[in-house]
Structure 1
Amino acid sequence: MLDAFFPFSLKLDPIAIAGSCLWSLALYLGFSSAREWIIEKLDRWFNFAERSLYTSVEEFEKTRRARESQNAFYASLFSIVPFLALGGLCNWGVEIGLGRSWAVSVGILACIASGVYELGRRDGLG
């Protein structure tokens, strides 16, 4: 399918993609303080970058609320990128250390463990 778009052969390993995504989900759930920090910094940067596009203060203030909501959405969406990179590294490390067959299994276990941790953390806050 991808051969129709690219003039070269692009081989994607579905097992590596699945393992990396599982690890990134586990890291995203497990490190909630880092996740919130990344979202906050991305939101601040998006708002600053968008402010530089406006020359009129009136035009900027007129659409501020909608743009800040949109930037918060984009920040939460793009906050997964560092976790995807770290998830790929974790998956690669497990493949090197335990073998290819264990990468997805340990990723699933990490997702379950971080999900239980996140539920317990949220229960402790309330």
Structure 2
Amino acid sequence: MLTDFIPFQFAIDKAMIAGVCLWALALYLGLSSVREWIIEGLNRWFNFAERSLYFSAKEFERTRPMRESQNAFYASIFSIIPFLAIGGLCNWGIELGLGQSWSVSGGMLMCIACGIYELGRRST
């Protein structure tokens, strides 16, 4: 069905997608201070950018709580993108050096290790 609309075919490597996502999750869990810094920066930028859309200060202040919570949600969602990029680089490096199966296995091990680190960091 999709090939009726697209005249070419492209292969999707499922192991690469799994490896990139595992490495991104591990980095997201392990680098919590960087994650919070990215979320705060995006939230600040979203709030600043949205201010320019309003002409009336009264209307801006009336809808402020809803917009700020929506911007915080978007900032937390978009904060994943840099980790996906770095996870792709980690996956590519491990895959080049050790092979495709090690890339996914290493991502799983790093997810477990960074998850345990995050649990220990939060309890202190």
Partners of 2:83 and 2:2 in 1: CA distance:
25
Partners of 1:2 and 1:29 in 2: CA distance:
36
Q: 5+ residue gaps in structure 2?
A: none
Which residue of structure 1 lines up, in the alignment, with residue 13 of structure 2? 13
CA contact (8 A) 1:2 1:10 kept: no
How far residue 86 of structure 1 moved from its aligned partner, in angstroms, is 0.4
How far residue 69 of structure 1 moved from its aligned partner, in angstroms, is 0.2
Partners of 1:8 and 1:85 in 2: CA distance:
26
SS of equivalent residue, structure 1 residue 8 = coil
CA contact (8 A) 1:3 1:10 kept: no
Percent identity, aligned pairs only?
71
Alignment of 1:8-87 (within 5 A): 8-87=8-87
Partners of 1:103 and 1:58 in 2: CA distance:
54
SS of equivalent residue, structure 1 residue 53 = coil
Report the count of equivalent residues: 124
**1:68-91 Cα distance to aligned partner (Å, 9 max, x none):** 000000000100000000001000
How far residue 10 of structure 1 moved from its aligned partner, in angstroms, is 2.4
Alignment of 1:105-120 (within 5 A): 105-120=105-120
Alignment of 1:98-109 (within 5 A): 98-109=98-109
**1:26-76 Cα distance to aligned partner (Å, 9 max, x none):** 000000000000000000000001000001101100100000000000000
Alpha-carbon RMSD: 1.2
